[in-house]
Amino acid sequence: MPPETPPQEFDWRRPQTFLAVAGAAVTSPRQFFAQITRGGGFLAPVAFFLLAMLAPTMVNALLQWSQGPLAMLSFFATSLLKSAVMLAAFALVLHGVCRLAFKTTLKLPDVLRIVCYASGVRALEFLPLVLSSLAGGLLSIIIVLFIAYLVWVGLQAAGGLNRYQALGALLLAFVTMVGLWLAVNFLRGVNPLPNLPAPPSPAGAPPASQP
């Protein structure tokens, strides 16, 4: 009996396909990313990512129960939106790095698929919230590193980059995202690094409060 072909795409109309796609990305990443749907729309991968984020976001929201149901609902919706925006920003930056620095033929939907389908393990991010601080911290680091590994494999399998180019693309995208984050916080007058002096406030405005 021939081996079962891994799924090429998450079917948002059938949420149960989440496990098949996430499992294929984790257990056979090179084969999975080599045959993912190319140049498709954004709905399927984004829906997959949001489904992966449901459990950890819900647990985080439940931790706000003392502030009331409205605050919990607001936190839940805002957290999901922020996660989606950060994902889109990273995919956009990574796509730009791959196209400009390494001349890959990957289109933005392809890079988005790699990043989204590599993020299936984020469904486990609720575990660090219920574990001890040490165990939770270690598990969070492992999840982040494993996602980075899956994206690294995906850039090779789907984008034709060699291992060093894929690593370089990941590092450049990460550095760019950190730079953008620092720049945005500086423009907002927020000091993201508490040990450094806060950026000057606009004339007439009160000093920014420290987080």
What pLDDT score does 211 carry?
Answer: 46
What pLDDT score does 196 carry?
Answer: 52
Greater confidence (158 vs 41) lies with 158
Q: Rounded to whole angstroms, how far apart are CA atoms 124 and 119?
A: 10
Q: Percent of the chain, pLDDT > 90? A: 56
Q: Rounded to whole angstroms, how far apart are CA atoms 109 and 119?
A: 15
Q: What is the pLDDT of residues 156-200, one digit of tens each?
A: 999 899 999 999 999 999 999 999 888 887 787 776 665 555 545
Q: Rounded to whole angstroms, how far apart are CA atoms 201 and 204?
A: 8
Q: Give backbone dihedrals phi and psi of 169, rounded to 5 degrees, phi first.
A: -65, -45
What pLDDT score does 1 carry?
Answer: 45
Query: What's the 3-state SS for the chain?
Result: CCCCCCCCCCCCCCCCHHHHHHHHHHHCHHHHHHCCCCCCCCHHHHHHHHHHHHHHHHHHHHCCHHHCHHHHHHHHHHHHHHHHHHHHHHHHHHHHHHHHHHCCCCCHHHHHHHHHHHHHHHHHHHHHHHCCHHHHHHHHHHHHHHHHHHHHHHHHHHHCCCHHHHHHHHHHHHHHHHHHHHHHHHHCCCCCCCCCCCCCCCCCCCCCCCC
Q: Kindly report the pTM of this predicted structure.
A: 0.83
What pLDDT score does 197 carry?
Answer: 53
Residue 111 has pLDDT above 80, yes or no: yes
Q: What is the pLDDT of residues 56-104, one digit of tens each?
A: 999 988 888 888 888 899 999 999 999 999 999 999 999 999 999 998 8
